[in-house]
């Protein structure tokens, strides 16, 4: 189980995984959604939920 750590950093490979997920799915870019995502740099044994919301075609917000 992942426990929150204030010193945790987002690793470059995790950012790449998020970007590939968003750019490879047209359904995600059409509005807002909650998606479970595995980010090995943060939690190797589980997944986190990402809230993804696109205001315009190329402008969006990601909250993990």
Which residues partner with 35 through β-bridges?
50
**6 domain-assigned:** no
- Give the pLDDT confidence score for residue 51 in this predicted structure: 92
- Give the pLDDT confidence score for residue 7 in this predicted structure: 64
Q: Which long-range contacts (CB under 8 A, 24 or more apart) does 49-56 make?
A: 50/18, 52/22, 52/28, 54/28, 54/29, 54/30
- Number of domains the chain contains: 1
Its domain, for residue 58, covers 12-63
**39 domain-assigned:** yes
Angle subtended at Cα 56 by Cα 53 and Cα 26, rounded to the nearest 5 degrees: 65
Taking only the tens place, the pLDDT of each residue in 10-38 is 788 888 988 888 888 887 877 788 998 88
Contact 53, 32 (CB under 8 A): yes
- Give the pLDDT confidence score for residue 64 in this predicted structure: 82
Q: Please tell me the pTM assigned to this model.
A: 0.69
**1 domain-assigned:** no
Taking only the tens place, the pLDDT of each residue in 35-59 is 988 888 877 787 888 898 888 877 8
**5 domain-assigned:** no
């Amino acid at each position: 189980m992942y426990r929150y750590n204030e010193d945790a950093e987002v690793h470059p490979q995790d950012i790449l995984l998020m970007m590939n997920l968003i750019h490879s799915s047209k359904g995600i870019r059409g509005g807002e959604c909650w998606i479970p995502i595995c980010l090995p740099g943060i939690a190797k044994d589980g997944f986190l939920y990402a809230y993804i919301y696109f205001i315009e075609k190329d402008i969006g917000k990601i909250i993990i």
